[in-house]
A and B are shown apart, each in its own frame.
Chain A
Amino acid sequence: MTLSLEKKIFAGLAGAVLALLAIGATTWWNASRLVQTFRWVDHTQEVIRHLGDLLNEVLTMQIGARDYVLTGDDTVLESYRRGAANSRHLVGELRRLTVDQDAQQQHLARIAPLLEEAALKMQERIDVRRSSGLAAVAALPPASAAAVAQIRREVGAMHLFEEHLLATRSAAVVRNLELTMAWAVLGGLLAILLLASAAGIIRRDFRRRRDAERALERNRATFESLFENAADGLVVVGHDGHIVRLNRTAETLFGFAREELIGMPIERLIPDEFLHAHQQHRARYMDAQRVRQLGGHLGLQARRKDGTVFPVEIMLSPLETEEGRVIMATVRDITRRKAAEQRIAQLNDDLQRQNDQLAVAVKELEAFSYSVSHDLRAPLRHIDGFANLLAQHAQEGLDETSRRYLDTISRAALRMGRLIDDLLAFSRTGRTPVNVAPVAHHDVVAGVIRDLQASAFPAAPAWHIGPLPTLPGDEAMLRQVWFNLLENAAKYSSKSPGPCVEIRAEKSADGAEWIFSVRDNGVGFDMQHQSKLFGVFQRLHAASEFPGTGIGLANVRRIVSRHGGRTWAEAIKGQGATFYFSLPVDSAKVTASARVGPAVAVLS
């Protein structure tokens, strides 16, 4: 069970108060017992006093009687009578006072007859003295001395008993007093503790309250500063549609001074054409529970002091304040954004137009390549066909030179056919979409080498293949890249002694791409011609020396660049060449490059 701090404090205080009450009650009870004990002590002392008085009165009675016997003076009889009466009275008093003490009552029971006996004897002597004179008294039996002595002993015993009682009761008083004091001290301490903790709690609460007030003040200042310095114009409107509050930006925005705006109906800031709609909607805005965004697409406008209007975007936030519900309008001047949007729209239109033009260009190029494919090949077929037919037809009628001419015509036609086919293939490389999937380059290279080994070269090279990565790309296209590069390497090294081709791959310094290399020990090339290497129909060697159409490396460059990579080469004439290409690791980059679009690819 968890209790809040406040409840804990309350429970603690209640406990302390209960403890204080208990202590108070105990102390009160102790004190009343003390009073009671005090009374008993008083009572005992009273008894002791009465005992003393009794002895005195008995003595007074005895002395009075003896004085009369000796003097016969009647006046002294008075003290005898008084003593006797007082003694009897005191015995009665003592009986009453010690009614709870059986021992004392027994003493008193013995004292009363002794007293009567002594009084009787004294009265007898007084009577004899009066009637018969002093000498007659002497003949009487011994006087009351024995009874009086007996009374003294009894009173003494009683006295002793009371003394003892007094001692006991005094000790009880002391004990009670100490207990009462202890409880009082305990109560006092607890009260001090309670006061101290109460003071602590009050102090802490006070401090908290002060901190909270300071934080509130800071928040208020922060809000004030935020409100005043907001980039947007802030206008607080009361329920009656009059401006209650605003910030600096709003002043600048509307061109009014603050004093002018405060209390002004909000409608003054709204252009006439929006007034009707605003009046219709204002009540609804006022009752809205949530923030309402009036975006720029609504084409809202606001009016400055000078009557000019500007496009705005408005956010209406309902606020509950002490003065009731108000609406805070955040007004943003979107003049510049509108202009920018217009510019963007303009640019988009331009781009769209250019794109359309490009699409038309692409269509034309496709038509062009179609007619190249169809119409240029037909005459070549005819040239070769009829040259062959001529050779067949003339049979033995042709001499060696004529046959060589016909052969040359045929071979030229066939070569042009190959050039057209390659050119069309190259054009297709630019138009075919790149299907990006993981490509295991090691497997691709192994497959290409298997194919190449089947084709005849003067001397097949020794292949050295390093570890090759798997990267995103179009497998069919990349296979074309490897085929062209490896075929070139095999072709151009085929005339070297011990032809050898090395295939390697390493990651670039920044790790963003892999760089592949194909190194051969073939004829190489002059580095000053390297700019021609990757161009269409550019060749650095005679077709008679190394056959080829000059399209392979152009295709390599186009495919690699559609994968977001680069191509380059290094060579020393007569000592072999190294061809490089790079491919990005990130498939997103490959896709982005591939998407450059058929138009650009065809035009490049």
Chain B
Amino acid sequence: MIAMNRRYLAFADRRLLLNYPAALDSVIDFLFAHVEPGPDRFPDHTFILRQEPSGTCVLDKDGKEIGTAPDSAGMANLLMGEVIYAMIDGVHSGLTLHAAAVALGNKGIWMPGTSGAGKTSLSAWLVNHGYSYLTDELIHCPFGGLKFTTFTRPFNFKQHGMDALDDLLAKTDNRQQLAGEAVTMIQPEVFGRCEPQTTAELALLLFPKFQAGADLVIEPLSAARAGLQLMGCHVNARNLAGHGFPDVVKLCRKVPACRLTYGSFAQLEDSLDSFLELALNGNLAKHHFNTLCRLAARPHSVDKQDTARQEVKKIPLPTPRGEKKKLTIGMATYDDYDGVYFSVQAIGLYHGEVRNDIEILVIDNHPGGSAAASLKKLEALGNYRYVPYLEKTGTAIRDQIFAEADSEYVLCMDSHVLIAPGAIAQLLSYFDDHPACRDLLQGPLLYDNLQTISTHFKPEWNKGMYGVWACDNRGTDENDPPFDIPMQGLGLFACRKKSWPGFHPDFRGFGGEEGYIHEKIRQAGGRTLCLPFLRWLHRFERPDGIPYSVDWQDRIWNYMIGFKELGLDTDAVIQHFNKHLGERVTTDILHRLGLDRRDG
């Protein structure tokens, strides 16, 4: 009588029972050391492993022979494949995906891919670099969340994968492995930590593609592209309603994704680990995630141009706060060094009388860019503060100016605006006379001929924008008293820091701010005033183009949520864009934004 042992194996909502000869205990333990037995219930399938006197192993499933192998290595391979198939076969409680996974703390990285994509090798490299191993094969993600469980087996290296491992394996004496003809299994502890009972949540989808000799490329993937890839790795689709397609899409909407192409482990050193650390812990906006992908995948080249490019990755430190001043003059910039330089230096040259009353605050919205170091150097001026900022881009960055300002009053301006001599001193006097004012203060825009002005915007729609430049004669003499205006371009404005109402937190990109912020000030009990002395010159021409994009989708979104917030008529927004872009395009954009529902 051959002594038999039994072992339960669980994954997702499946449970299997394996009966095997006691003589194979060490092999079975090698294979399933990290697989939990699961809750005490009747198994979905029962496997019986038999070993014949010749050494041949025979595998039965639910009383039916399903395969044989000539030796224990072959049996290990056969058994692992059949167990995984049986695990996948009946899972209904969530998505089951063919993917490797590692974790750093409670942040999980999935590496979905078909056989040969390099999942196993890449996860071994990551485990060797401090990540915790979860699986190289199978993930289960219950519906509705990002928490997941894994089928944690030993690494299964194909022969070509083994060739790449020499460096990693050389770091340890412990080669816990089971070598077969096609596959070599190695325990994860050989490379690092293995913590399969993690409570990790999915934080990044990383689609690996190993190609010997290829350059390192980290390419951000849109949610739709990630969904396409993930559907190809979705192994229990037929068990799920809609084949799990809506659930895959839902998941891809929530989690950033990128494709990693690499040709050797050497390329990953100092690139992939740094990238992942920032990607997992940075809580990055989509735009910044995309930038990070590009920065991390810069080739490890030695030519001067590439060295210079790599240097721009260093983000300068913010300037420490100085003595509190009466007025902060703040501006945000995105790679516009020239604009900032001339705006700031013009304040120094033509407004020397207020130097001790002001701090100049520059929020750098692209601190990894080529202008960052030069912008930082301007702190030599003494009353200048440089602040790198990555969290938000677009019009709402002005909120950050107010958040950073260390003074009672704030003048917010574009980084390419020049202020008429004497105007800042007059503004400070105005604040002295109206210390608790709740008003938004602006002045006439001066055109490039230095004579023509626009004192305000008329509240009318024109070419996709609410507001049309206009001139009120009460503003033509700079000595005239202030007067109420409906709205004005936001190239320059000032108010008490406490009176700044802020943008709707969901504002994105550019557009929709004029009129919105004015109405918000008025609804809070303030006035929107033109101070005729507060003249400003704005650089409109950009012969080299602008480094950011302005799109209709963002603009319509901002108008719609801004108008809704203030109780204004959103139909007017839709009517204008129907006329300007065409009804079909507008309807399509509203649909994409989820704004086509009356209750939305």
Q: Do A and B bind each other?
A: no
Q: Which residues of B are in contact with A by a Cβ distance under 8 Å?
A: none
